[in-house]
Amino acid sequence: MQRDRGIHPGLIGFDIDCVVADTMEAFIRLAMDDYGLKVLPEEITSFQVEECLAVAPRIIDEIFARLLSAPVENGLKPMPHAVAVLTEMAACGPVTFITARPEREPVDRWLESIFPKEVYRHSRLVATGKHDGKAQYVRELGLQYFVDDRVETCTELAEAGIFPIVFAHPWNRGRHSFASIDSWLDIKQRILFNEFVS
Ligand SMILES: [Mg+2]
């Protein structure tokens, strides 16, 4: 195992929701503030939120639609330490984001709002519009590693010869045998020490 250099930023990509963006914080906050619904983070045990919460699907859809079309206006926050770690990585090369979101422009504006100008200008963003099929984009962008919170995506990536890294959340814990990280400080530490490279 090499310990003298980490994974080059040009070889690793990141999902947006629940990896770079604290989407569930925003979901829980909007549910409380605008609909008076109390949702606890540990209650979100399924990627399909409607399967695990006693909240009307119409309301769930409405909240996610707001976060898709207007993430800046709805106060979507980055995950703790995401901006600092990605800013550090960006000093070595452009950072890449691939999201299943259908629209690129709102999430592009969100990235612009959270990152220093230089980091944003040199970042790459792809919005695929569908949950399946990320592997093709990951490969086309020349990436070898990808961080995502959706187990099905990680399985698809692994089958395509890409090294998936699961960002741990209640909805993926115990449901896979891939490499896993549980915070951006963990990403920094393990990329720095190259623990994913055998
Ligand atoms: Mg995600």
Expressed in angstroms and rounded, the spacing between residue 150 Cα and the centre of ligand 1 is 6
pLDDT, one tens digit per residue, over 7-33 is 887 899 999 999 999 999 999 999 999
Which residues, including other chains, have CB under 8 Å from residue 72's CB and lie 6 or more apart?
106, 109, 110, 113
The model carries a pTM of 0.93
Expressed in angstroms and rounded, the spacing between residue 3 Cα and the centre of ligand 1 is 29
pLDDT, one tens digit per residue, over 153-175 is 999 999 999 999 999 999 999 99
pLDDT, one tens digit per residue, over 170-189 is 999 999 999 999 999 999 88
Listed by start position, the domains of the chain span 9-21+78-192, 23-69
Whether residue 191 has pLDDT greater than 80: no
Domain 9-21+78-192, architecture per CATH? 3-Layer(aba) Sandwich (3.40)
Expressed in angstroms and rounded, the spacing between residue 148 Cα and the centre of ligand 1 is 6
Expressed in angstroms and rounded, the spacing between residue 128 Cα and the centre of ligand 1 is 13
Burial 16-36 (b: 16+ CB within 10 A, else e): bbbbbbbbbbbbbbbbeeeee
User: What average pLDDT does range 30-49 have in this prediction?
Assistant: 92
Q: Which residues surround ligand 1, an ion (CB under 5 A)?
A: 15, 17-18, 149
